[in-house]
Chain A
Amino acid sequence: MSSSSALLGKRSATEPGSPVLVVEDLRTRIHTPRGDLQAVDGISFSLGRGETLGIVGESGSGKSVLGRTIMGLYTDGPVTTVTGRVTIAGKDVHALSAKELRSLWGADVGMVFQDPMTALNPVKKAGVHLTESLRRHRGMNRSQARARAEELLNLVGIPEPRRRLDQYPHELSGGMRQRVVIAMALANEPALLIADEPTTALDVTVQKQILDLLARLQGELGMAMVLISHNLGVVAGRADRVAVMYAGRVIEMADAATLFEAPHHPYTEALLAAIPRLHQPPHVRLEAIDGAPPNMIAPPVGCRFAPRCRYAQDDCSQVLPVLDPAAVDGVATPGHSFACHHPVNGGRH
């Protein structure tokens, strides 16, 4: 078969050079019976064509809420309050009507969720999931859409695509299902793909296949990608830049190599030290992070990591540090920023 970019035919919604995704001071507040939960608390970044941003954090850090707020799945309404601005391919996501949002989803932005079983409708065949969006967004007729769906399954590496089109999700393995979900997300060559824990439900050998597939397709289609994961290893080889989230805020952002080699935020450092490593001898004592993340209904006044931080001093519990560009020995390190009063590895603002 011909190369996939020729197959898909380029249809870029953005000017070359202009960012695909711009997030400005985004805040998502979820109303609960016990009070408002500040799930995403003032996040800004932008992402260009072909670029991958990895977002890592532990459960409850707000990384999934961030992904969904970017998608426009959380909007300003009775359950959640959203402030700030998200621009995808030049469109202000939170200013769009419900109808405009539906045409944004699938066409300009695709999403891959963690659990491919629940992301697929169990009573619809794999093919229907694909043809639905092709017919809606592309105005294809039934047979055109079906032919294209077959090409898409081939593109994501599913053998015997014609037979698979007529199978139900339960007849496919977990890896196959996730490939179908990826094919759905890519059906209309979105400018932006948001992958929220795309491989967490999969085995490690299948995980590698799926991550390789995402990287290959991203290269061929020139998409921007937000890769959300709790696993630092997953983003390490795949992301250009990595943002570390803690308690609703990005506490450090840098290009992947810098972040893993010389992090400036104590939380990033602690997170990296807590991972058991294959090259370490057995029975090495791991550097656990004591305590637990703060309650996000009433977060601490100062730095949210201060109660668990081994470097914390008095000012940490009083003044909330902001994400500022980093410098080492007075020389700015472009693209690296962190939010800490007492950084490690020689970092200064």
Chain B
Amino acid sequence: MAGSGTLHLRPEGDQILSVEELVVEFPAGGHTVHAVSGISFDVLDGETLGILGESGCGKSSAGRAVMQLPPPTSGSVRLGEDELTGLNDQAVRKRRARMQMIFQDPVSSLNPRRKVKDLVAEGPRIWGTEVTREQIESVLSAVGLEPAAVWDRRPHELSGGQCQRICIARALMLDPRVLICDEPVSSLDVSVQAQILNLLEETKKRYGLSMVFIAHDLAVVKNISDRIMVMYLGKVCEVLPAGRLADRALHPYTRLLLESVPEATPAGGSPDTGTQRFTGELPSPLNPPSGCRFRTRCPLATEECTTIEPQLREVGDGHYLACHNSGPGAAVA
């Protein structure tokens, strides 16, 4: 099964991360959950790829499969020169250290019984590397924490934003090339969210990182990404440069997302903009629709969508669309 194709992959070159035909399936009481169905993407050195979608679209499963947490059902994940799939656990652990993950809930992703100084040094210590006090202090300062103030604290004594800074510091200690951030700001207040987004942007520049940024918030993803991949029910709908998201997106699902976002403007969240055309809810990933997976909710759906799965085609500079009935050259306007 093709997850909308591979046309959007760029020629061999500066890729730091290449994912091809990634499939993630889980057994569920005699059935199979099709979480991710053969998606492909690549991340260039220094690039931030945003993965956008609602709950159940497979964005988190994809991020975790890239980390081999657990390994994908099938597909290839290459980090730099290293293929990560099909290796034994020990070999994966060794190669994977160059890729670090930041999770949604910063408080529960830290061991509540450890102090900040030990939390930050934990990664290198696992690898048998001794860490100096100066190293810990410098990484704490780099993530905007006052080392002396948090040194002996435990996670419950810190705010959510401070805990997320600790998580970023922990990741940086292992000198990663790629950060995979899974909804890193969705549990934070808007003022703290801005602090963490700015910090991720600074950190990326300072340490020369690449990033995969998984989130459901369109404006947040647009703010941090160079390129955005929109997912729906385990497939890719659209891949586009971040700057085109607001007014150049073409896929009916991306348009639905854009029209649903309530914006804090004097005009307000513009109720009733015609999204009533879109009905229903996400179909079950146990039994996804044939053809285009969005067709059950799509106002543009035709007979063709039931039988033929749309593949990504180029519709603009760096802009790829998997839809029969939208974009240039579509059968229906």
Contacts and interface: CB of A to CB of B under 8 A. Distances in A.
Chains A and B are bound partners:
yes
Interface of A: 58-59, 173, 175-176, 203-208, 211-212, 215, 230-234, 236-238, 256-258, 260-261, 270-272, 274-290, 292
A211 B218 contact: no
B317 to A, nearest CB: 15
A203 B191 CA distance: 21
B219 A270 contact: no
A276 B223 CA distance: 7
A256 B266 contact: yes
B245 A233 contact: no
Given A175-B281, A238-B268, A283 B190 contact: no
B198 interface: yes
Interface in B127-167: 159, 161
Contacts of A289: 191, 194-195
Given A205-B256, A237-B271, A282-B224, A232 B191 contact: no
Interface string B296-310: 000000000000000
Nearest to A277: B219
A63 B244 CA distance: 37
Interface string B183-203: 000000111111101100100
Nearest to B276: A212
A237 B222 CA distance: 22
5 contacts: A205-B54, A207-B260, A237-B268, A257-B266, A292-B161
A205 B278 contact: yes
A257 B269 CA distance: 11
A238 B54 CA distance: 23
Contacts of B246: 278-279
A288 B54 CA distance: 26
A281 B246 CA distance: 9
Given A208-B262, A238-B268, A256-B268, 5 more contacts: A274-B193, A277-B219, A278-B258, A279-B246, A282-B242
A175 B269 CA distance: 19
B263 A236 contact: yes
A265 to B, nearest CB: 14
B271 A282 contact: no
B25 to A, nearest CB: 21
Interface in B213-271: 216-220, 222-226, 242-243, 245-246, 256-271
Interface residues of B, number: 49
B109 interface: no
Contacts of B191: 58, 270-271, 274, 288-289
Given A276-B219, A289-B194, A283 B264 contact: no
A202 to B, nearest CB: 9
Contacts of B225: 282
A282 B226 contact: yes
A274 B194 contact: yes
Contacts of A211: 262, 269, 271
B261 A282 contact: no
Given A271-B191, A285-B201, A288-B191, A236 B216 contact: no
B12 interface: no
Contacts of B275: 205, 208
B55 interface: yes
Contact of B190 (A175, A204, A274, A282): A274
A176 B282 CA distance: 12
A207 B224 contact: no
Contacts of B224: 282-283
B272 interface: yes
A280 B275 CA distance: 23
A95 B195 CA distance: 45
Contact of B260 (A59, A173, A204): A204
A233 B263 contact: yes
A229 to B, nearest CB: 9
A11 B205 CA distance: 62
Contact of A260 (B193, B198, B265, B278): B265
Interface in B111-125: none
B201 A260 contact: no
A204 B219 CA distance: 12
B243 A231 contact: no
A215 B271 contact: yes
Given A208-B275, A212-B271, A283-B201, A276 B220 contact: yes
A59 B189 contact: yes
A237 B198 contact: no
Contacts of A232: 190, 264
B264 A233 contact: yes
A257 to B, nearest CB: 4
A236 B54 contact: no
Contact of B189 (A58, A212, A234, A279): A58
Contact of A288 (B194, B219, B258): B194
